[in-house]
Structure 1
Amino acid sequence: MRKWNYIWMAALLLASCDKAEEIAVDDGSIRFVMQYPSATRATETSFEQGDKIGLFLTEYTGETPAPLQISGNWANNVAATLEGTEWVTAKKIFWSDNRMDAYGYYPYMSLTSVDEQPFSIALDQSTERTGDQLGGYEASDFLWAKTEGVDQSTETVTLQFSHRCSKLVIQLVKGPSYEGELPDSATVYIHNVVPTATIDLATGAVTKDIFGEVATVKARKVNNATYEAIMIPQRIESRRPFIEIVVNNISYLLEDTFQFKAGMQHTLSLVINSNPDQVSVDIGGEIVGGWN
């Protein structure tokens, strides 16, 4: 009888050990919640598994926040990767005794500056994501967030991200003389745009490289009638070739001026006819902040 009691007690001890291992231990490190600018669809408007964000935390001195620096902050460009439902930092970040400001940006970069960090959009934004390698569109979509005055009473740090570049949506519309359906092999280009910029991580501002050379960007396809691309905020002041659609080896070219505004989605509806010289444009309303 005593032998069975020993066996029963041993089983209880093993079970209690298993349950103890299941309990998460609070080690005092900071947990982060990253909120995408718009969360209405599962792919474009949410972070995906393996996405990597850069984090900075700066300390206050009394009531005065410290300026963001390339180094010497409480946390310096720490990578946080989405694994399951949690953001896992490359190294644990613990709370300071002082209040802090938290900065986040996406996609993660090896930085050389926090106020003039070089950045460029992809010239081919139709490329797909492969593993950890972002597609051209995703790699071009710079996101930024800041949360001020966090401390240990906050428990978690929530960062609400916003788009800091500009998005162009091009919708193809069949004109009266266009015959047949829009093909699935159309290609859309945006000409004469500067693809390079500098980023101020303290404010999230994206500024066009004033010495940057103009280039052509290939848009990504959403469906047969819709194409989109991320642009550096800038103004195209002189009338020049702007949008080109290649359909069935026929090139439809639109010349125009345009202003790409930071954090804005611009929609252009292009009416195409059988005659490639007959292209008209309708500029739709602007969407601020969260893009759908």
Structure 2
Amino acid sequence: MKRILLAAAVMLVASCSKNSNTGDEPSPVKPTQIPINVSMGVWTRATDTAYESGDKVGIYVVNYNGSAAGTLQSSGNHVDNMRFSYTTKWTPDTEIFWKDQTTKADFYCYYPYGTPADVSAHSFVTKADQSKLADYKASEFLWGKASGITPTANAVPIITNRSMSNMLIYVVAGKGFTEETLAAANKSVKICNVKTSSAIDLRTGVATATGSATDIVPYNEGEYYRALLVPQTVPDGTNLITVTVDGVDYTLAKGFTFKANTQHKFTVTVNKSSGGVDIGIGDWEIDDTDNGGAAE
């Protein structure tokens, strides 16, 4: 009798072991993960109207807590500074997913990609010599935010805008010059006493000029010169622009406030006078038109 009971006990243990190992109990169904995709457009990216193949941006994703938006942190966000690279579409270094199927999120995007230690003060420096197109483009900083996005399999659209200011300088003939003689002269232009370093708040895209002032050599577009500048205020009486004509420097003292995502046009008129040569400046214009388009 004891043998019969022992055999029954062994069979019962074996049966329990079989059920636990083979998963006869139904497993919980995991919710489907939704990949995060993005598409980005840009207003006035340097001389271009769209991003170029090889461009790289950094993206942060910050989840909502119920109906309340989260706060972008230097780390610990749902997605921290994921690098997306552009070819014909935007591709992350590692596939990322929404938290779930209902939690909204804010997306923060910036260009060019870097390694921000502090999202409230990301360091960025424009080139002092922008005479080459590549260095001019390297002085661009773009930022964008998409708010309150509901989880979707579709690409999240993000529009990025300039955090920098754009200065356009036209040099025209005044008294003592003709268009022909000025065009034939050996000319160069320099932007003086401006700061090239900045701290950019990636929560807002606002750039604050830092460090010491220096000179910038702008890019010669042929008809005009252009440079990308950190938004800042140059005090009145500051030597702002130096135009060199056939080896002679003519300096313009001018205070000015450079604004983000704005083109500022300066028409500089070179005049000859009985006392030598002086230089004046025509009316400047602020062009608030967005000169760009969206990348699909």
Same fold (TM > 0.5): yes
- For the residues of structure 2 that align with 1:67 and 1:185, how far apart are their CA atoms? 54
Aligned to 1:235: 233
**Greater relative contact order structure (CA < 8 Å, 6+ sep):** 2
Residues 77/239 of structure 1: CA separation in 2 closer, same or farther (3 Å cut) = same
Secondary structure of residue in 2 paired with 1:203 = coil
Cα contact 1:243–1:255 (8 A) shared by 2: yes
Cα contact 2:58–2:81 (8 A) shared by 1: yes
Post-superposition Cα deviations, 1:203-241, rounded to whole Å, max 9, x if no partner, equal 1111122xx111001111111x30011111111113121
Q: Does 1:218 align with 2:222?
A: no
One-letter amino acid of the structure 2 residue matched with residue 125 of structure 1: Q
Q: TM-score, normalised by structure 2?
A: 0.79
Aligned to 2:188: 187
Alpha-carbon offset, residue 57 of structure 1: 0.5
Aligned to 1:149: 148
- For the residues of structure 2 that align with 1:193 and 1:38, how far apart are their CA atoms? 22
Residues 32/186 of structure 1: CA separation in 2 closer, same or farther (3 Å cut) = farther
Alpha-carbon offset, residue 82 of structure 1: 1.2
CA RMSD of aligned residues (A): 2.3
Greater Cα radius of gyration, structure 1 or 2: 2
Residues 107/289 of structure 1: CA separation in 2 closer, same or farther (3 Å cut) = farther
Cα contact 1:30–1:93 (8 A) shared by 2: yes
Secondary structure of residue in 2 paired with 1:152 = coil
Alpha-carbon offset, residue 38 of structure 1: 4.2
Q: Does 1:91 align with 2:94?
A: yes
Where has structure 1 moved over 4 Å in runs of 4 or more? none
Post-superposition Cα deviations, 1:183-208, rounded to whole Å, max 9, x if no partner, equal 59632211111111111101111112
Aligned to 2:29: none
- For the residues of structure 1 that align with 2:284 and 2:152, how far apart are their CA atoms? 45
Alpha-carbon offset, residue 291 of structure 1: 3.9
Aligned to 2:126: 121
- For the residues of structure 1 that align with 2:120 and 2:163, how far apart are their CA atoms? 15
Aligned to 1:280: 280
One-letter amino acid of the structure 1 residue matched with residue 91 of structure 2: V
Cα contact 1:37–1:161 (8 A) shared by 2: yes
Q: Does 1:198 align with 2:199?
A: yes
Unaligned runs of 5+ in 1: 1-25, 129-134
- For the residues of structure 2 that align with 1:281 and 1:226, how far apart are their CA atoms? 14
- Number of aligned pairs? 255
One-letter amino acid of the structure 1 residue matched with residue 99 of structure 2: S
- For the residues of structure 2 that align with 1:94 and 1:28, how far apart are their CA atoms? 5
- For the residues of structure 2 that align with 1:283 and 1:140, how far apart are their CA atoms? 26
- For the residues of structure 2 that align with 1:289 and 1:62, how far apart are their CA atoms? 37
Q: Does 1:248 align with 2:246?
A: yes
One-letter amino acid of the structure 1 residue matched with residue 281 of structure 2: V
Post-superposition Cα deviations, 1:64-93, rounded to whole Å, max 9, x if no partner, equal 11110111111111111111x211111112
- For the residues of structure 1 that align with 2:218 and 2:187, how far apart are their CA atoms? 11
Residues 183/200 of structure 1: CA separation in 2 closer, same or farther (3 Å cut) = farther
Where do 1:64-75 residues align within 5 Å?
A: 64-75=68-79
- Over the matched positions of the two proteins, sequence identity in percent amounts to 29
Cα contact 1:253–1:277 (8 A) shared by 2: no
One-letter amino acid of the structure 2 residue matched with residue 153 of structure 1: T
One-letter amino acid of the structure 2 residue matched with residue 137 of structure 1: Y
Cα contact 2:219–2:226 (8 A) shared by 1: yes
Cα contact 1:244–1:253 (8 A) shared by 2: yes
Q: TM-score, normalised by structure 1?
A: 0.80
Alpha-carbon offset, residue 27 of structure 1: 8.1
Post-superposition Cα deviations, 1:248-286, rounded to whole Å, max 9, x if no partner, equal 323222111111122221100011135673211113321
Cα contact 1:183–1:248 (8 A) shared by 2: no
Residues 247/154 of structure 1: CA separation in 2 closer, same or farther (3 Å cut) = farther
